[in-house]
Each structure stands twice: as structure tokens, then as C-alpha cells.
Amino acid sequence: MGAYNKYDPRLESLVVETKTIWDASVADLSEEDRETVAQEIHAAPQLADKVEYERAHTGFTREVTVTAETIQKLYQEKLQAQ
């Protein structure tokens, strides 16, 4: 079986845990902003530049790395939805 290092809609139904990694480009975000961004990116993981899935006993853990580009994609998505 191959590596799980990109968004995979087939694996999404098996995600039982999430992790968020913060790139140095977003190091200055407040804790409140980090919580908001983490919730939003895990609700739309296809927008993340880096997504990895790690096997767990009952499914997968989704690990998303948030970069400045990721946040820009989130805001663009919100603007298009309005």
C-alpha cells in the first residue's frame, strides 16, 4: 500500500483523529486564530497544501500542515461562498 501523503476523499470517512502542524510562515498567529483556522481547514482538508494520513487502530489520523498559502485558500473559499 502506498504512502498517504495527499488529500484522499476515500480515506476521509475513516478519519478518527486530526492533528494540525503550523508552518513557520504562520508562527505569529494568536491562539484564538489558530483554533479557528484549525477547525476550518479540517472541515475542508482538500484546501490544505500538505495533508498526510497515518494509520490508527480504528481508522486514520489526518495531519494537516497550515501555511500562509493555506490560510489564503481558506479566505478565498469563504469569499466565493458569499
C-alpha cell read off for 77: 473559499
C-alpha cell read off for 33: 486564530
pLDDT at 6 over 60: yes
Q: When comparing pLDDT for 81 and 37, which is higher?
A: 37
In this predicted model, what pLDDT tens digit does every residue of 8-30 receive, in sequence order?
A: 999 999 999 999 999 999 999 99
How many degrees, rounded to 5, is the angle at CA 11 between CA 2 and CA 79? 120
pTM summary value: 0.88
Q: Which residue has the cell 502506498?
A: 2
Number of neighbours of residue 70 by Cβ within 10 angstroms = 20
Q: When comparing pLDDT for 2 and 57, which is higher?
A: 57
C-alpha cell read off for 13: 470517512
What are the percentages of helix, strand and coil residues in the chain, rounded to 5? 45, 25, 30
